[in-house]
Chains A and B, each alone.
Chain A
């Protein structure tokens, strides 16, 4: 069974993959981690280098939100994706400021 997702690319990842959003069909019960691997295969090295560490974990300055909620507050990369959910992939989330 397919699940349709709407994906927004925000920040520096947009610079390197040259698009700001797309709709994507994935298998039901796909996790965020699996989605990121799929997107890595689809968009190649620029996406992987922008979003992921070599270990496959998220870079510190990358953030993934499901329906605008940080996956840190959900089940992280194990968060399962449902039909019609909005996925935002943000790169450029530096630590808060300090002079």
Chain B
């Protein structure tokens, strides 16, 4: 391996974003000279994006951290020189181990781990190492991307993400996302599929305040006022149900809880001696359990059951959305009422309700429409309701897990390895393999013991903003311990959270911080110990393409691959996972880690790990692959062949008709969550806003909607450009060159009319100021943004000395965002990422 005078191509997997595309890397004379897409990978099929190609220059970045560093200056702050001193790995691990030993003996919950490293989060650190160590605080990740979304998906589609069937879809509404335009799940294959679908005639409608990359290529771009997407969707549902009478009656009656009978207090009417909700059977003209065979459930109507009046959930929804006539929604969203009616009509017609299609000789329902949501539409206060409304719209036309429609990734696992479950009410729950714990139907009224405050946000996958709240106000939620150590890898807390000065203040209070870093970034500047992290082209990661979470059906396969080192690590870089396993060994709990691997990875005999043995990473991966695929497919097979692939069956691609669980469009569980959260908050002595826990969907204005007093008269939002991912790519020289040549990447977008009103010309330096902070940048005057909005791309505007390429480039959007309880989604805890600002020319 790594011999001079060799000329080889090596299978590996990109890590420049979460799409995890397969690559082949050309190594010549021990130097990486080219990266291309791996033709054998179902995700990339021989194609790779700009980020993927630019990985090469990132590998050889002279600014990388190459040796362990110890802080000598005890004073910490933004721009304060840490006084780094080079030390050996032995000394570094000694320091780390001793800190962690003392904390574990005292109270292991005092350790926080913050990372967005998908391999570590999925397989090693969060679900195994942290649990074996004993801390629940290993989940301080991002605040924005899908915080409100993932729980909404688990609740409605039983999976982690939102996706749709580009192989058959004819009409898609992209709501604050760019799926199919080099963003989102499996970006490369989705872009290819999108191009094929457009040739076939797929119509794309983008609803977004910013004329994004996707909007520029769409058939129609609807600029919407930020934070109002929910009103738009509820109005579309209103038009479909109450004006057009256009809905999939069979689907709603048999595959959702729309026919369930609901009492006046919002709860289900149930059997007198049982737990099953009742429906009204039109054949027998009486109330019967929802799952009784041979019935014909009524969708509409009012009935008296057990002496109590009740109505169907569908009828309640139908009445609820009458609150959103297009004229009212137009005033909220700025999308004209006739446009809302037209889009709803086009969507309903394109759904072809009642039609079927033959897939592998099987007739399946054919609903070639979808509305797809991601960060832009939901990263607002009340964002959970927006995401749930989107799901209900997909259900209204039956476009749910059938050809052409919405689907979550991999509800049914390969060869039936996993299947969704169902509650006693018959509603879908995620398979344990993809959402253990994400079953949002019963709740615990106990005082939280984790920094995320799990019990105060029981319908959420991630409560990272609460870490910040707890750290900045240590006594606010009565946790019986105070954090004493923070370990960070692949997560830039200062760049990617809210205003960095607030983050800096709380980091200064944590007694010990260790970061595993490729660069001395803004967060590493606050560390006591910096350990050189391996770049992905030097790393060994199994299954970055996670079949359970982020692998789109669009790939056509279930597939498993290996990220393997293409070159030797530069300097003394090591993978942090290896280091953490060594620390576990020194602390005496590596055996517990191995036991957890046996559980987490589902290892079978004879490949189970012996808690008393010691294994190299190669041996661990060899056992895992052999346990899954047999003795002939160990790690060496993957190194040589790249991928093991299994073509998906129709049942795996379109599980809707093949599963029994129903999809909820009425959220009775929210009422129980409300009660539970109220009790937990009361135990903590808090008044808590539980008004979003509603069984029926609603739209409520986020703070920015209501705060438009001049001079803070504009909204600011950020948006994604396809050749950067989070802040980790900003230091890449080639991607920086692309951004410098892109008209929008490093600029502040302002609408032509708005700019004229404020006396701003294209190229002017301008200030954008919110209640939390101010940023300066170059104005890009454009028609490609809503007139009430200014737009800032990505996560630029770095200031760390250790990122010389990124430093000072672009504008740091998050500086404008505060964090407080008024500005989070009360269900998911996602941070509202639009705020009012004033814009002025810089002197």
Contact = CB atoms under 8 A, between A and B. Distances in A.
Contacts of B421: 72
A61 interface: yes
B131 A99 contact: no
B436 A95 contact: yes
Interface in A59-93: 59-61, 63, 65, 68-70, 72-73, 88, 90-93
Nearest to B597: A68
A70 B436 CA distance: 10
Interface residues of B, number: 53
A73 B109 CA distance: 30
B718 to A, nearest CB: 14
Interface in B88-137: 107-109, 116, 121-122, 126-127, 130-132, 134, 136
Contact of B434 (A73, A96, A99): A96
Interface string B532-569: 00000000000000001100000000000000000000
Contacts of B598: 68, 88
A53 B130 CA distance: 23
A11 B108 CA distance: 10
Contacts of B595: 8, 10, 68, 88
Interface residues of A, number: 31
Contact of A96 (B132, B438, B596): B438
A57 B443 CA distance: 12
Select the residue from B127, B142, B154 with max chain A CB neighbours within 10 A: B127
A97 B145 CA distance: 11
A30 B598 CA distance: 24
B478 interface: no
A72 to B, nearest CB: 4
Given A60-B439, A60-B444, A97 B596 contact: no
B461 A96 contact: yes
Nearest to B445: A54
B599 A88 contact: yes
A61 B461 CA distance: 12
A98 B161 CA distance: 10
Nearest to A55: B442
B72 interface: no
Interface string B414-441: 0000000100000000001011111100
B432 A70 contact: yes
Nearest to B603: A68
Interface string A20-35: 1000000000000000
A90 B437 contact: no
Contacts of B116: 99
B130 A92 contact: yes
B150 A98 contact: yes
A41 to B, nearest CB: 21
Contact of A93 (B107, B149, B160, B436): B436
B348 interface: no
A94 B454 contact: yes
A22 to B, nearest CB: 14
Contacts of B25: none
Contacts of B439: 60
B136 A92 contact: yes
Contacts of A8: 592, 595
B149 A98 contact: yes
B143 interface: yes
Contact of B146 (A11, A90, A98): A98
Select the residue from A53, A65, A92, A93 with max chain B CB neighbours within 10 A: A92
Interface of A: 8, 10-12, 14-15, 20, 49, 53, 57, 59-61, 63, 65, 68-70, 72-73, 88, 90-99
18 contacts: A10-B595, A15-B108, A20-B592, A53-B442, A60-B439, A90-B599, A92-B130, A93-B127, A95-B150, A95-B435, A95-B436, A95-B437, A96-B150, A96-B435, A97-B461, A97-B462, A99-B141, A99-B462
Interface of B: 107-109, 116, 121-122, 126-127, 130-132, 134, 136, 139, 141-147, 149-151, 154, 160, 421, 432, 434-439, 442, 444, 446, 449, 454, 461-462, 464, 548-549, 589, 592, 595-596, 598-599, 602-603, 608
Given A95-B151, A95-B154, A99-B146, 6 more contacts: A8-B595, A15-B108, A63-B436, A68-B602, A69-B602, A95-B437
